[in-house]
Structure 1
Amino acid sequence: MLGKASEIKTALVDSRELNDWLHEHSEVNIISIQFSMAGTTVTGVLPSALIIYKEPVETPIKPRESVQWFAEVMENKLRENDHKGGWDNENIYWLWERLRDEASELLVAVDATRDLYADPLNIVLEAADVANFAMMIADKARKEAKQ
């Protein structure tokens, strides 16, 4: 998993191109812009612009212990169902209906644990099913957004 940090960088651009550079790099955090006439000998030449900026860079994010544990439970549940062929070809509304079915099963597990002292592990497994269908829906939306 990746997050955002920043790295200080510089760019030297002709001041006539400064506006274009700023539009193309809208995600950067400008620290300063310094103009210089150094090296120019022709009258009417515009100065160069030295831009000092912070650019976002990808850095690893370490998941919380409980997130890592639950992700492993989710992955194990997915692997148990690998024989079903995945979700890429499933309709997002079918996945939504399955999520709702699994949410109902989760409620039954919660009630059974409370009322019948059933094994709380059933709650964990049903919660992983709910989370997996939510992940499948999110995955399809992510892939659609990239198109």
Structure 2
Amino acid sequence: MGKAALEWTDAMLAQLGTDKDAVLAERWGTTAKTVNLKRNALGIPAFGHVQWTPEMEAALGTDSDAELARRWGLSKASVVARRQQLGVASRSEQQGAGFAWTPQAVALLGTASDAKVAQQLGLSRLTVYHARMARGIPAAARGSRQDA
């Protein structure tokens, strides 16, 4: 004879989507599949699933991925993945795209840490890093006089 059907309580239903299906299943003595089917039948998103709003998507690229992740309580990887999925450039990529790399600005690359050069030019460290790498310029030696 098969196992008796799970009696879903209001408390159990309230916990759906608040933890992984497998964790809830173990807690309740059932299978993850049973929890998954009930959660899906009720239209409850899986734990960790991000419900991207139009406002969230519009904000992608307007601030750093790390800052947006912190603001929304998400991992930075989730923000990066969604931004890339939508084809939105990162904030640092946008800053670098609008920056005029004059010979004087290029000459600074590799003379000090990327962070120091970025500070001088008003750019992000990542923008300077990408510009330096794209030009094949090696990083400044650690402890160089310009880096102090």
Same fold (TM > 0.5): no
The higher relative CO (CA closer than 8 Å, separation ≥ 6) is in 1
For normalisation by structure 1, the TM-score amounts to 0.24
Q: Highest Rg: 1 or 2?
A: 1
More strand by share: 1
For normalisation by structure 2, the TM-score amounts to 0.24
